[in-house]
Amino acid sequence: MSQVVVTGLGIIVPGSIGKQELWSNMSQGKVFTGKAENLNCGNLRVQIVGEVKNFNKEDYLQDQNSVKIQNLGRAESLALAAIKMAIEDSRLDPSKEEDISLAAGMTMTNLMKIENQETKIRDILSRRNEQDIREIEQIAPVSILSLMCRYFNLKMPIPRIFTNACAASNYAIAWGYEKIKKGISKIAIVGGVEALSLVALMGFNRLLSLTPDVCRPFSKNRKGLVVSEGSVFLILEEKERAQKRGAHIYGEVKGYGLGVDAYHITAPRADAAGAITSIKDALKMANLKPNEIDYVSAHGTGTALNDKTEVVALKTIFGENVPPTSSVKSMIGHTLGVAGAVGAACSLLMLENNEIIPTANFEQKDENCNIDCVPNKSRKMKLKNIISNAFAFGGNNSCIVFSKAEEA
């Protein structure tokens, strides 16, 4: 069967726009979270977020294929810009391709546009003015997916939306991988997008899941996660085709494991059964043994329960030989539906650079998280195989294996 490789990366996250900036910042352990500046948080207890700053959609996008940039919401702008970046990085012209698979993970979409505007929404719906209703339509995931197809003039695309919370973009990557493996598509555009939303921030405040300062995954004094935003998309391609056209290959998608244990609406199973199964399935599909994994890109949210449970899963799989494990969320926060794609992009850049990024803000060892979490400083090491975890509410568990692509 076909091998699936990654030939393009489009990255927009707090502190970094583009792969070079992301790698420079993450490898140095720089933190880009802080008090919200562009979101009116009112009197919310915790107002620490990860914001994409200095992003002007006009600098990255222009009107085309009947899409007017001035009408785009925050999520749409981030997604289109990241996809455009990935396409340019891959040196593909999607308008000349057919049967492109397109999958996006998302949760909040453009909710920021209508928050605290109940009266306005009722007025819009009563008037049924086409332009006004467009504002309502923008919050629907299908609207964003349709816009992607139209903006890039995709011919006969095969689209799919994943809204299963923080595992969504890992599911999108796995779906695109399957489309190429089965010969349905030669190219897949996969990833996710999130725009900061007061709904999300309020929800996590109510769950008491937020840190009042910084995210400290695996540290004993960790206090919670940071809600964040961004968009990351990958171009997946059949390997032989990519090689023939001389494409740059970041790495290979070797396998994945997906599953829903449906244990609890928010809490993970204490025995980590769902996470364990997803990792085992990913290794089996990749035909790899646990001792062949060099590094783990952790879900690592910084909450007491999630980090502890993830360590249970890792120790069940690897025993006392858990590979070095770190969390990018310590630096940019939790991008929700984009988290899997962020982990994927970082994993591929680590494979290229033979260097692993640190877990920033680490202060105290925790007996319940007794692993090498690469505290505070990046580390040079030879890398061949990486697993990237993304776990979500509702028991949605996912793991993807990325490997250094062989030349032949």
Query: For every one of its 408 residues, what pLDDT tens digit does the chain have, with 9 covering 90 and above?
Result: 689 999 999 999 999 999 999 999 999 999 999 999 988 888 899 999 999 999 999 999 999 998 999 988 899 999 999 999 999 999 999 888 989 999 999 987 665 555 555 555 566 566 665 665 566 555 566 678 888 999 999 988 999 999 888 999 999 999 999 999 999 999 999 999 999 988 888 889 999 999 999 999 999 999 999 999 999 999 999 999 999 999 999 999 999 999 888 877 777 778 889 999 999 999 999 999 999 999 999 999 999 999 999 999 999 999 999 999 999 999 999 999 999 999 999 999 999 999 999 999 999 999 999 999 999 999 999 999 999 999 987 788 999 999 998 754
Q: What is the pTM of this model?
A: 0.93
CA triplet 186, 241, 188: central angle to 5 degrees? 30
Written as six digits, the tokens of 353 are: 């650079």
Q: Is the dihedral of CA 81, 86, 92, 96 positive or negative?
A: negative
Q: How does pLDDT run across 42-60, given as a tens digit for each residue?
A: 889 999 999 999 999 999 9
In this structure, which amino acid lies at residue 201? L
Res 380: pLDDT: 98
With b for 16 or more beta-carbon neighbours within 10 A and e for fewer, the 312-328 pattern comes to: bbbbbbbeeebbbbbbb
Quote the strand ranges of 31-141, DSSP E.
Answer: 34-35, 48-50, 101-105
Roughly how many angstroms between the first and final C-alpha of the chain, as a whole number? 15
* Cβ count near 291 (within 10 Å): 10
Edge-to-edge strand list for the sheet holding 34-35: 34-35, 48-50, 227-228
Rg (CA), the chain: 20
Domains and CATH numbers, the chain: 4-244 (3.40.47.10), 256-403 (3.40.47.10)
Select which of 166, 346, 373, 399 is catalytic: 166
Judge whether 248 counts as a catalytic residue.
no
Select which of 149, 215, 334, 346 is catalytic: 334
Phi–psi pair at 50, nearest 5 degrees: -110, 110
Select which of 149, 215, 299, 399 is catalytic: 299
Written as six digits, the tokens of 23 are: 């790698």
Judge whether 299 counts as a catalytic residue.
yes
> Residue 135: CB partners within 8 Å, gap ≥ 6?
113, 114, 124
Task: Report which DSSP code applies to 243.
Answer: H
CA triplet 89, 32, 110: central angle to 5 degrees? 70
Helices (H), 114-167: 118-127, 130-137, 141-151
Phi–psi pair at 107, nearest 5 degrees: -130, -55
Helices (H), 256-302: 273-286
With b for 16 or more beta-carbon neighbours within 10 A and e for fewer, the 165-195 pattern comes to: bbbbbbbbbbbbbebbbeeebbbbbbbbbbb
Judge whether 264 counts as a catalytic residue.
no
Res 37: pLDDT: 94
With b for 16 or more beta-carbon neighbours within 10 A and e for fewer, the 247-269 pattern comes to: bebbbbbbbbbbbebeeeebebb
User: Which DSSP string do the residues of 289-326 spell out, in sequence order?
Assistant: -GGG--EEE----S-HHHHHHHHHHHHHHHTT-PPPEE
